[in-house]
Amino acid sequence: MFTSLDLTQEKKIVWLYDLNDYPWLRETFAHFPKRDRITDAVISVHKKYGNEKIVGYAQLEDNAPPDRKGKTPFKRRIFVLRDGDYEAYKDHFSFPTEAINPLTVQPRQKGLPPRKTQ
């Protein structure tokens, strides 16, 4: 879980895919070496070792302080879909606890939960 304090340094949300293809996504955090972008190599690592597709991410303000010292100091919000997510939750009546409707995501604001469909 995260707090609104984790979102205060967000500048922009970047989407890598068409949001109309995603009724919901997982909203989580990861550490990255830069404030503003995510490289193709990082996207590949998440896919290969995390079994998740990064669909979007937050860019931080230019003056955002590092979250920690070391190689990947910037804690940033990412929006992912894990392999098999939609199959596991195909009944549309349950979602993982971190699921959000991607159309409700704004910088500095937590996404709203997805709506359950009939």
Q: Are 60 and 41 in contact (CB under 8 A)?
A: no
Q: How many domains does the chain have?
A: 1
Q: Are 48 and 64 in contact (CB under 8 A)?
A: no
Q: Is residue 53 part of a domain?
A: yes
Region of poorest pLDDT, from 45-49, 60-64, 91-95, 101-105:
91-95
Q: Is residue 58 part of a domain?
A: yes
Q: Are 89 and 62 in contact (CB under 8 A)?
A: no
Q: Is residue 110 part of a domain?
A: no
92 pLDDT tier (thresholds 50, 70, 90): low
Which tokens in the block code for residue 71? 């190689």
- Could you tell me which residues come within 8 angstroms of residue 61 by beta carbon, excluding any fewer than 6 positions away? 9, 10, 11, 35
E-strand spans in the chain? 10-15, 25-32, 52-60, 74-82, 99-100
Q: Is residue 116 part of a domain?
A: no
User: How would you classify residue 6: left for phi > 0, otherwise alpha for psi between -120 and 50, otherwise beta?
Assistant: alpha
Q: Is residue 113 part of a domain?
A: no
How do residues 15-61 score in pLDDT, each as one tens digit?
A: 999 999 999 999 999 989 999 999 888 889 888 888 999 999 999 99
Q: Is residue 60 part of a domain?
A: yes
Instruction: Write down the pTM of the prediction.
Output: 0.89
Q: Is residue 91 part of a domain?
A: yes
Domain span at residue 44 reads 4-104
Q: Looking up tokens 């995501």, which residue turns up? A: 105
Q: Is residue 115 part of a domain?
A: no
